[in-house]
Chains A and B, each alone.
Chain A
């Protein structure tokens, strides 16, 4: 059984479009995260949610908005896509806070043309 899943795996789109990436975890974890991995493989946290409440919001553009319909899902919505948004986006979850082990999804490779 997949613990943390993301859809789609690949996303190619034009500049200016709006897109969403979905994430689901079946681990019963309380906290979920979104990370961005750039072309140099550098990973940086974007958001985390704990029990549907945003607890960490890094300095990402407000074009990015996380949405959590329930504890098992954390979707990432991106408005007005820019070339610099091209990256691999990873969803992750942990049992409680970020001090616990985080389990990662397979990633979504976003390419903005």
Chain B
């Protein structure tokens, strides 16, 4: 069965610090990979996605993620965080055309002004 692991439960950073959130998945076949963000009290919004091609994908708001197939990883990065990036971040994986979208347990990011 597919699973998604997000290593950090809660990350606290100061503004302008660099961010990297880990995501690993278990699935042997072709996968589609997503990062979603959930701002306090709001719905999930897509940050970025990887289906194929360049393993370094750029998303909205300065976020990027790198797919490393050999490590089954899809880590999210941002060079300089802002207070407005405070949110919950979810990694999600889909394997196969009829497979479910499996979410990680989320990482809460708190950015101190």
Binding site for B on A (CB under 8 A): 33, 40-45, 48, 55-56, 58, 90, 92, 97-99, 101-107
**Contact (Cβ within 8 A) B49 A99:** no
Interface residues of B, CB < 8 Å — how many?
Answer: 23
B70 within 8 A of A: no
B94 within 8 A of A: yes
**Contact (Cβ within 8 A) B43 A107:** yes
**Contact (Cβ within 8 A) B43 A41:** no
**Contact (Cβ within 8 A) B46 A56:** no
**Contact (Cβ within 8 A) A104 B43:** yes
Nearest chain A CB to B107's CB is how many angstroms away? 10
**Contact (Cβ within 8 A) B32 A43:** no
Binding site for A on B (CB under 8 A): 32, 34, 36, 38, 42-46, 49, 88, 90, 94, 96-101, 103, 105-106, 108
In the complex, A39→B101 CA distance in Å?
Answer: 20
In the complex, A101→B96 CA distance in Å?
Answer: 13
Nearest chain A CB to B9's CB is how many angstroms away? 10
Say whether, besides A41-B106, A44-B103, A98-B100, A104 and B94 are in contact (CB < 8 Å): no
Say whether, besides A42-B106, A43-B90, A98 and B101 are in contact (CB < 8 Å): yes
Nearest chain A CB to B38's CB is how many angstroms away? 8
Instruction: Tell me which residues across on chain A come within 8 A of B94, comparing CB atoms.
Output: 98-99
Instruction: Tell me which residues across on chain A come within 8 A of B97, comparing CB atoms.
Output: 97-99
In the complex, A90→B43 CA distance in Å?
Answer: 8
Nearest chain B CB to A36's CB is how many angstroms away? 11
